Structure formats: structure tokens, C-alpha cells
Amino acid sequence: MAQRHSPPSSPKDLQSSDPPDGSATSAGRQGPSVGPLASSPGADLNHAVADKLDEVAQLLHDQGANPFRVRAYRRGAEALRRLPEPVSRILDAEGLDGLERLPDVGDTLARTIRDIVRFGYSPMLARLRGDVDPVRLLASVPGIGRKLSNRLHDDLGLETLEGLEAAAYDGRLENLVGFGAKRLAGVRAVLAQRLGRVRVPATSGDTPSVAELLDVDREYREGATADLLPRIAPKRFNPGGRRWLPILHTSRGEHHLTALFSNTERAHRLGTTGDWVVIYGDRGRTDGQWTVVTAQGGPLRGRRIVRGREEECAEFYAGLR
């Protein structure tokens, strides 16, 4: 069953700076002790990362996300400020496992911290700011230039490094002209280093079902049509800085999901910014990105489908008969 959260009282105004009320108890993770605010050489880094976690928390709050998620990011930020050693040292020595053992950090925050420390970039923060540029992100991987990154985005719908990693192992990159064995091996190696982990194949429980994704798509489009959702001002293709892009934070089971209309160059070129809905998932060490569109042909013509999961969509609709 869907878990819905009330949007802010003023959907079009996301400039509120009031923190969420209340507090939550820590899950009590075992890890390095946390003492007074750090004054070590790593304090500047820890505070800088903490500031970005606080920004994530504030944006989630402003956009009507689950208050428990908001508080989780605030607690993680405070834990980093009190950390007696540079968080980069823990990441270098122990990887994501070491970050997850920090008090009030956990697997999802650990991934966000890793991205900020390693790349100075958090995909989640970019989405919340309306500053997503998937083509630039994909082009940052050695061996993938701007031209190839455009093809990866337009032909395969890739928008994240995790999505690129999945495509590097499930055969999609091998079938793309321009991807030989050497380039594929190089991309896999770079992603293994950047993502800081040994790749673990996703299981069915790691991925929302087609039924769940289509339900999020319905919730998002109904909320956008009724003007019930907060709106953000995307940086791309928006020179006037207008707050036009509705954003939805919701959940299905253990999955935290964010939905937005596609704001890519291709969507603008094809006039589908009001049709294509991009759904981002966040669960523990895994995340995902799916695009829901209206099928333009075939047996599902006119139906909402999850791109790349058409067979599952056909089975879903057949079960509704």
C-alpha cells in the first residue's frame, strides 16, 4: 500500500527554512565513538560534507518528504561534525562498510557521503536542486565522451552511474555500437572504483515492481495535474528560473521514490516533458532510475509503460483483464 505524505502548505513556494519538528531515537549502530565537535585537520571536510547533508534534509523537508528521512539526514550531518577524524580516512581504509558503521549513518547515507567525498557531487542533491545533467555525468567516465554519453542517455535511457554499471553487466553496452571489449572492461573498472564496492547483482526485492512504479506514476501525474505537488526550478532549459517542475517524494514498501517529469534535452526536443516521468529509487546500497512513458505503438499503445520493462508491463495489464 502506498505511503503518502502531505505536501507543504504552499506547493509553489519552496523557500521555507523551518526545520522539521520532533526528534527520533538513533538505531544504535556500533562504530567509531563520536565526541565533541571535531577540531582535527579533517574538520573542514567533515563540516563541508555535513553541510551538504543538511541541505539534502532541508530540501526534502521543503518538498514534503517523509519526516523520518529528513531527520535521518540531519542526524547524519551532526554525526559527521562530531567525528574525531576525517571521514575520507574512514572511506579510504574501510570503504562503504566503514561509513555504515558510523553512528546515525547507515547504508543510504553512506552512499551519499561517499559520492560527496569522492566526486564532490551527490546525484540525490542534484535532483533535489533541479540540477541534474545526466549526459555530463556519464561523460565524466573515462572512455565515454560527450557523443557516446548522449547515445547512452537517448538510446538506453541511462541517467546515473549505477544505471551505467547495470548496463555494463546486463549486455546492453555490449550491443551498443562503439563499445568493444576493451572499452567495456575499462568502464567496469572505473565504475568499480568510483562506486567503491564489489558489484552485487540486484535481486527482485531490490527493485520496485512494475505495478508499484506505475502506481507512483499515477500518483505523480494526478498530483501535478491538481497542482498539489511542490515545484522546483530546474537549472537546465529554464533561463528564467521558473518553478515549473513538480516533484513527488513517496514510498512503496522499503523503497523511497522520487518522481519528476523528464527535463532532458531529448524530452524538450520531442515535446514529452509532460509525459515522460522519471522515478528515482533509493534503498540501502542500491538505487535505480526508471522512466514511465505512454506507449506509441504495439499492443500496449496508449498505455503507460516502464521503459525497458515492456514485457512485465504486458503481463501486468493482462492480469487486469
Q: 22-26, 73-77, 109-113, 244-248: which has the minimum mean pLDDT?
A: 22-26
Instruction: Specify the pLDDT at position 214.
Output: 98
| CATH of range 134-195; options 1.10.3720.10, 2.60.40.10, 3.40.50.300, 1.10.150.20 | 1.10.150.20
Q: Per CATH, which fold does 41-126 belong to?
A: DNA polymerase; domain 1 (1.10.150)
Intervals of CATH 1.10.150.20 along the chain? 134-195
Stronger pLDDT, 301 or 9, i.e. the higher one: 301
Is residue 290 within 8 A of residue 207, CB to CB? The reply is no
Read off the pLDDT band of 169 (50, 70, 90): confident
Q: Which of 212, 219, 251, 307 is nearest to 68 (CA)?
A: 251
Q: 234-238, 242-246, 314-318: which has the minimum mean pLDDT?
A: 234-238
- What is the pTM (predicted TM-score) of this model? 0.73
Read off the pLDDT band of 166 (50, 70, 90): confident
pLDDT, one tens digit per residue, over 187-220 is: 898 888 777 654 444 544 578 999 999 999 999 9
Give SS3 for 38.
Answer: coil
Q: Which residue has the cell 519526516?
A: 67
- Provide the residue type at 315 as one letter: E
Cα dihedral: 98, 23, 48, 103 (round 10):
-20
Q: Which residues in 105-244 belong to E strands, given as ranges?
A: 231-232
The mean pLDDT of 284-308, rounded to a whole number, is 87
The mean pLDDT of 233-249, rounded to a whole number, is 92
Read off the pLDDT band of 33 (50, 70, 90): very low
pLDDT exceeds 60 at position 32: no
Read off the pLDDT band of 316 (50, 70, 90): very high
Read off the pLDDT band of 176 (50, 70, 90): confident
Instruction: Specify the pLDDT at position 275.
Output: 97
Instruction: Specify the pLDDT at position 41.
Output: 52
Task: Report percent pLDDT > 90 for the chain.
Answer: 45
Sequence-distant (6+) residues with CB within 8 A of 261 are 224, 245, 246, 267, 273, 274, 275, 276, 277, 278
Strand pairing class (286-294; 277-283)? antiparallel
Q: 38-52, 68-82, 100-114, 225-239: which has the minimum mean pLDDT?
A: 38-52
Intervals of CATH 1.10.150.110 along the chain? 41-126
Instruction: Specify the pLDDT at position 172.
Output: 85
Instruction: Specify the pLDDT at position 42.
Output: 59
Backbone phi, psi, residue 151, to 5°: -65, -40
Read off the pLDDT band of 26 (50, 70, 90): very low
Distance of CA 185 to the CA centre of its chain: 25
Grid coordinates given for 226: 491538481
